[in-house]
Amino acid sequence: MQDIENNQFKVAYNGRKGPLFKIGLMTGLFTLLTLGIYRFWARTRVRKYMWSAIAPNEHSLEYTGTGLEKFLGFLIAVAVLAVYLGIFQLLLAFFGYSLFTQAETPGAVLVQQLIFYLAILVTLPLIYYAQYRARRYVLSRTRWQGIRFGAEAAAWGYVKLALKNLFVTVITLGILLPRQTFNLEKYRIDRSWYGNAQFAQEGTWKMLLPAMKQTYIGMAITLLGVILIGFGGYNTYTSGSFGDESGEGIGSMVFGFTVISLGYSWWLVGFQIYQVASWRILANHKTLGQAVTFESKVDTADVILAKVFGGMLAGFVALIVAAIFGGILGFALYGIFNSLDEAVGPQSGELRVALGTLLGYIIFFVAFGAIALVSIAQPILRNFASTLTIQNADQLAKIGQREGDDFVEAEGFADALDVGAAI
């Protein structure tokens, strides 16, 4: 709703539980029946609903992507990745295993292990490439009041920046994570458009440091636990009581493991706080066309509670549904298995248990996916959307249309690398 006096309007979220649950359940079943092929159309249907529920100034967003272009893009990406990874694996096999299999020396084993990890690391550039391309595709298929969003074709530049920042984050043991968060967000936002107006990310990475407070505390507690374990291990070794539960350092080691558990739990919660708080800070420093600004008041506690209790609710209800329907299906098939007893013999019982377990497993994940949309995804999206205010809103009327972006592979690389599961 527009606030004419303050020249701003709110963003509303109008999604309802019933329709979204129905979409999630039906698309989950179709995905199951088509052995996963329908998932491209399933995600498209979910996005269309959720986009239409987000309404700045009572005008809903529109998602124009299609399942077919996502499916065809996935096939193209799989073909490209198969060639890329296949060539890399052949080179590794030649220079690694062929040269170091003459003798099982420690050096040869070490080289082979390094080759294995290198094969994993080689996918990192592809993952960052896929993430940028997927975001660009989603923006190009999003409209508001008929005006398209979009992003510049700069995926390889994003890969280079992401790898540099990841290296700095790793060697500083995560302390400079805010630097990575800000630099990558700035790269993405500075190359994003709404119509012919360009977004910009203002501020510096240091403004995210306060959001890392709880994460830093968790890291410090974990480090303390490591020190206690090391101290206890040293005392145990020097006293010659290694393996003796009454050794001098055993108590310190046990206490150290307890401290590490506390620190890791603290870190997990702190990281969730950081993700929400950093999003709010970054949103409050974004501009569109040098005039339109944004104000986010997203509630960190509400988002975390939605993840925790929404996940628990989805898991509990899905487990009950799986048990009930699994039992019903198992009872319905009981007669069929009885008729197989004579033909199959003793293995009939094993087959019965295996099929019952499989049916329960399938039902659980279909139900969990549908319930999670309602209990986790929608409350979180509602919180982010409904707490956002667009300021200097009259400037939006001056923004004109932009040309559409064509995507041959859509989100194919993100789907193929399993980094495109987000709505």
Write the pLDDT tens digit of every residue in 219-234. 999 999 888 888 777 6
**Model pLDDT for residues 97-150, shown as the tens digit of each residue:** 555 445 455 555 555 566 666 666 777 888 888 889 889 999 999 999 999 999
* pLDDT confidence bin for 250, thresholds 50/70/90: low
Q: What angle do CA 281, 276, 308 make, to 5 degrees?
A: 165
Q: Are residues 90 and 135 in the same domain?
A: yes
Q: Which domain covers residue 355, as residue numbers?
A: 1-61+298-386
Average pLDDT in the chain? 82
Q: Are residues 68 and 186 in the same domain?
A: yes
Least confident of 33-42, 265-274, 284-293: 33-42
* pLDDT confidence bin for 358, thresholds 50/70/90: confident
Q: What angle do CA 132, 138, 142 make, to 5 degrees?
A: 145
Residue 420 lies in a domain: no
Q: Are residues 111 and 195 in the same domain?
A: yes
pLDDT reported for residue 159: 93
* pLDDT confidence bin for 253, thresholds 50/70/90: confident
pLDDT reported for residue 256: 83
Residue 131 lies in a domain: yes
pLDDT reported for residue 202: 96
Question: How many domains is the chain partitioned into structurally?
Answer: 3
Q: Are residues 69 and 184 in the same domain?
A: yes
Q: Are residues 45 and 95 in the same domain?
A: no
* Contact between 351 and 337 (Cβ < 8 Å): yes
Classify 63 in phi/psi space as left (phi over 0), alpha (psi -120 to 50) or beta. Answer: beta
Q: Are residues 280 and 307 in the same domain?
A: no
Which of these three, 203, 234, 255, is where a domain ends? 203
Give the CA distances from residue 13 to residues 51, 127, 380, in Å, rounded to whole numbers and listed in that order: 9, 31, 11
| CA 345/CA 244 separation, integer angstroms | 53
At residue 358, what is the residue type?
L
* pLDDT confidence bin for 171, thresholds 50/70/90: very high
Overall pTM surpassing 0.85 (yes/no) = no
Q: Are residues 82 and 193 in the same domain?
A: yes
pLDDT reported for residue 340: 52
Average pLDDT score over residue span 208-225: 94
Q: Name the residue with higher pLDDT: 397 or 217.
A: 217
Least confident of 89-98, 260-269, 292-301, 398-407: 89-98
pLDDT reported for residue 240: 56
Exposed e or buried b for every residue in 324-360, given b needs 16+ CB within 10 A?
ebbeeebeeeeeebeeeeeeeeeebeeebeeebeebb
Residue 419 lies in a domain: no
pLDDT more than 90, % of the chain: 45
Residue 407 lies in a domain: no
pLDDT reported for residue 116: 61
Q: Are residues 69 and 183 in the same domain?
A: yes
Residue 24 lies in a domain: yes
Which of these three, 256, 284, 312, is where a domain ends? 284
Q: How far is C-alpha 336 from the chain's CA centre? A: 42
pLDDT more than 70, % of the chain: 74
Which of these three, 183, 203, 223, is where a domain ends? 203
Average pLDDT score over residue span 321-336: 69
Q: Are residues 216 and 180 in the same domain?
A: no
Strand partners, 151: 192
Residue 156 lies in a domain: yes
Residue 400 lies in a domain: no
Q: Are residues 183 and 239 in the same domain?
A: no
Q: Are residues 276 and 221 in the same domain?
A: yes
Residue carrying structure tokens 């707490």: 387
Residue carrying structure tokens 């990841």: 166
Average pLDDT score over residue span 6-26: 91
Residue 405 lies in a domain: no
Helices (H), 240-346: 250-283, 300-332, 334-344
| CA 154/CA 139 separation, integer angstroms | 14
- Per-residue pLDDT for 179 more than 80? yes
Q: Are residues 133 and 187 in the same domain?
A: yes
Give the CA count within 13 Å in the CB-facing half-sphere of 329.
17
